[in-house]
Structure 1
Amino acid sequence: MFDAEEFISEAVETLKTQIDDIAIIACSGGVDSAVAAVLAHQAVGGLLHCVYVDTGFMRKGETEQVEAMFAAHGIELTTVHAAERYFTALEGVTEPEAKRKTIGELFIRVFEDEQVKVGAKYLVQGTIAPDWIESGGGVRDTIKSHHNVGGLPEDMTLSVVEPLRELYKDEVRELARTLGISVAERQPFPGPGLAVRTLGDLTPERVGVVRECCAIVEEEFEAAAERGEMELPWQYYAALLPVRSVGVHGDVRAYGETIVVRAVRSMDGMSARYSEIPHSILQKVSTRITNACKGSVNRVVYDITHKPPGTIEWE
């Protein structure tokens, strides 16, 4: 049985031996990177520099939430605004693996810039077991590259430290609860962010649509769960498909794109079953999305695919 307190004690001692110089960590706002950051901070204190990169692919209100969370733990956080750099690098890139590889390489380049500023020798990451398994870290085929695993460039100069590498999501959540981290129960979010929920061209406008639709899905599902109308899924979000269909807005013909809503039940992300969401709640989600995104979205569909055969994220 997993013992969170024992793991924390051992991890902190191990990190003290692994990190003997300045280290840098990417803090995304998710539970994995938050736990890794708190553990590393407990181990090496001021040697750790925590950096949050606003890639332009973050959730609604993400930046403010991340800054508040680290302030609550007394950890100094540097915010890098890199959205323009990411959108430029990904212009015309639509193939999923190419997206992830590009984001992974830029992820390191941005941190190498920060490394130069602080003289960092180590990169601490919140990589967990499903990340490297899906990225082909063993004998398995690559299912998809994770930006902090399979997307790392070969000429990277930072030494990587991964204190959570052998853990699964439920174990990381237990660590977060023990450490008093506010995002302990927050649902998983892909490393490349909304970039892999925006199928097709990555533009600020299309990503903005996905950001708003994901917020709507989260708000409606969480409110319904609070009312006791449904069980909150393990992961739930919206993705924008480059599929257009004819619709009607008022008396005017519309030709808009499609939003797919995805919600799954899982324990560790390695396999998942689609969640049976009440139709009344899905109808609310659909109405809110089509009203909020008039002119760009006129159709909402629900994904009823298990994993396998489909992965949890569409890309």
Structure 2
Amino acid sequence: MIVILDFGSQYSELIARRIRETQVYSEVLSYRTSAEHLKQLNPKGIIFSGGPSSVYDQGAPHSDPEIWNLGIPVLGVCYGMQLMVQQLGGGVEKSDRGEYGKASLEIDDPTDLLTNVEDHTTMWMSHGDSVTDLPPGFELLAHTANTPCAAIADHDRKLYGVQFHPEVVHSQGGQALIRNFVYHICNCEPTWTTAAFVEEAIREIRARVGDKRVLLALSGGVDSSTLAFLLHRAIGDQLTCMFIDQGFMRKLEPERLVKLFAEQFHISVEYVNARDRFINSVKGITDPEEKRKRIGHEFISVFESESKRLGPFDYLAQGTLYPDVIESADTNVDPQTGERVAVKIKSHHNVGGLPKDLRFKLVEPLRKLFKDEVRKVGRSIGLPEEIVNRQPFPGPGLAIRILGEVTSERLNILRDADLIVRQEINRAGLYHDLWQAFAVLLPIRSVGVMGDQRTYAYPIVLRFVASEDGMTADWARVPYDLLETISNRIVNEVRGVNRVVYDITSKPPGTIEWE
């Protein structure tokens, strides 16, 4: 495998995803990971991520200097390159001119790391510091107009650094560079495949669970559905799927889900109507973090009470994914000190909302996968395309698409508006072209006029985004006539709404969901 040491970058997981696209396993660890621990893991290569700090700042994150003596190839990215230079005797200073966005890479040495990377290719820059002096043994590989040292190497020790970000899609030669590092420098083999993951996951599930029973929180999305199929293949009737209708689902979805699993998949699903409990749990709550945590606690509470009715369960299965974990800053916690490396953006109900006294043991076979990897796994084990290609839907459901307090009235309004969005996106043939397309209800009212009468009603926000993995996203440029059709239908068919707006914010700086 390739290990990524995270220095506080929110995109360390993106590096991991790019490596996995080469069919090589990658894993993210804290930058505090010791050289001794890395030696025990025996990775084929190590990548130092970027980060928000300057290497010369007081308290800036530094790695174990013994890493340079392990004989393992290292690639430093942005801050990771600057740290490499500083620790090995070179110089890093604040630049007279920062470099952000696209830059043309002028290649000085087209071999080794930059093999098959075209001269003058576009790479994505984001830095205010620059390398001023190379450490002993290093030589220049590439430069840009503003950055004399854009790529460097100590070929003998297999130490490399790049000032740009090869992991982002804007870097045209980025994936070729990553493949060079993974295959030609680290000598990895493409063994991280869907079939290999399924085989290993089934083996690990059986070893962990033994003859115990497992309770799965089934939502009907691709994550929990893939997990249901995977668990059923691994442990058969030891699995019990429970669908908890928390009242925050989209229109007609609870009924469709239970029927689909029972009649087509022949996987028994216990239906639990807990709508009143969940709505009461968030009554009067407007803070999004508190809302998520209360929903998470209520999930566990319902599971515990219902599991007693159905029989004892030792394990709770969850479809937690890598993006859930990284946004909750869970993988950025140092295992020895408990300190966080990155800033938490938001809690996810299946990560940040779990109580410390959880009675169940957790089994999370998908925890290290990205969404596109989950879809590949789902297809390989027979999950129908209608579920495989289902757009992501958050665990807390419509509760986090209603800003402020969640009420029955607001839920009904949003359900009706959301159904119109889905219907029109499907009619336009754009459902599979968009990462997500949904409606958001704002807890404010604005003045309108309908039938020569003044109205005072809610606005609906349309949020359509394009993305590859949910880590970054751009607002979707859908046709104006589609927006017009959706807007006209919502204001005419959904009572309580008199205004529709379109969110044109990318991620970052925003998030895909509003809460």
Residue of structure 2 equivalent to 1:124:
317
Match status 1:19 vs 2:209: yes
Match status 1:255 vs 2:456: yes
Alpha-carbon distance between aligned partners in 1 of 2:470 and 2:198, rounded to the nearest angstrom: 23
Q: What TM-score, normalized by structure 2, do the two folds share? A: 0.59
Residue of structure 2 equivalent to 1:171:
373
Residue of structure 1 equivalent to 2:200:
10
- 1:231 Cα deviation (Å)? 7.2
- 1:233 Cα deviation (Å)? 1.0
Match status 1:304 vs 2:501: no
User: What are the within-5 Å matches in structure 2 for residues 38-57 of structure 1?
Assistant: 38-57=229-248
Please list every run of at least 4 consecutive aligned residues from structure 1 whose deviation after the TM superposition is greater than 3 angstroms. Answer: none
Please tell me the residue identity of whatever aligns with 2:383: I
- Could you tell me the percent identity over the aligned residues? 49
Q: Which runs of 5+ in 2 are unaligned?
A: 1-22, 24-191, 333-340
- What CA deviation, in whole Å up to 9, does each residue of 1:4-24 have, x standing for no partner? 222112111110011121110
Residue of structure 2 equivalent to 1:292:
493
Alpha-carbon distance between aligned partners in 2 of 1:181 and 1:65, rounded to the nearest angstrom: 16
Alpha-carbon distance between aligned partners in 2 of 1:94 and 1:66, rounded to the nearest angstrom: 30
Q: Note if contact 2:246-2:278 (Cα within 8 Å) is conserved in structure 1.
A: yes
Q: Give the aligned CA root-mean-square deviation in angstroms.
A: 1.3
Alpha-carbon distance between aligned partners in 1 of 2:358 and 2:303, rounded to the nearest angstrom: 10
- What CA deviation, in whole Å up to 9, does each residue of 1:268-315 have, x standing for no partner? 100001100111000000011111123x11000000000000000000
User: What are the within-5 Å matches in structure 2 for residues 14-163 of structure 1?
Assistant: 14-20=204-210, 21-71=212-262, 72-117=264-309, 118-137=311-330, 138=332, 139-163=341-365
Report the 3-state secondary structure (helix = DSSP H, G, I; strand = E; otherwise coil) of the residue aligned with 1:25. strand
Larger helix percent: 1
Q: Which runs of 5+ in 1 are unaligned?
A: none
Q: Note if contact 1:121-1:158 (Cα within 8 Å) is conserved in structure 2.
A: yes
**Segment of structure 1 superposing worse, 175-184 or 274-283:** 175-184
Q: Note if contact 2:349-2:395 (Cα within 8 Å) is conserved in structure 1.
A: yes
Please tell me the residue identity of whatever aligns with 1:30: G
- 1:47 Cα deviation (Å)? 1.1
- 1:113 Cα deviation (Å)? 1.0
Match status 1:199 vs 2:438: no
Please tell me the residue identity of whatever aligns with 2:209: I
Distance 1:292 1:167, change over 3 A: same
Please tell me the residue identity of whatever aligns with 2:372: D
Please tell me the residue identity of whatever aligns with 1:9: E
User: What are the within-5 Å matches in structure 2 for residues 274-289 of structure 1?
Assistant: 274-289=475-490
Q: Note if contact 1:210-1:239 (Cα within 8 Å) is conserved in structure 2.
A: yes
- 1:239 Cα deviation (Å)? 0.5
Q: Note if contact 1:240-1:259 (Cα within 8 Å) is conserved in structure 2.
A: yes
Report the 3-state secondary structure (helix = DSSP H, G, I; strand = E; otherwise coil) of the residue aligned with 1:256. strand
Report 1 or 2 for greater relative contact order, CA contacts < 8 Å, sequence distance ≥ 6: 1
Report the 3-state secondary structure (helix = DSSP H, G, I; strand = E; otherwise coil) of the residue aligned with 2:279. helix
Residue of structure 1 equivalent to 2:92:
none
Q: Aligned pair count?
A: 311
- 1:37 Cα deviation (Å)? 1.1
Q: Note if contact 2:467-2:473 (Cα within 8 Å) is conserved in structure 1.
A: yes
Match status 1:212 vs 2:416: yes
Greater Cα radius of gyration, structure 1 or 2: 2
Report the 3-state secondary structure (helix = DSSP H, G, I; strand = E; otherwise coil) of the residue aligned with 1:257. strand
Match status 1:235 vs 2:425: no
Q: Note if contact 2:282-2:406 (Cα within 8 Å) is conserved in structure 1.
A: yes
Q: What TM-score, normalized by structure 1, do the two folds share? A: 0.96
Alpha-carbon distance between aligned partners in 1 of 2:505 and 2:304, rounded to the nearest angstrom: 39
Q: Note if contact 1:222-1:232 (Cα within 8 Å) is conserved in structure 2.
A: no
Task: Choose the corresponding residue for 1:189, options 369, 393, 404.
Answer: 393
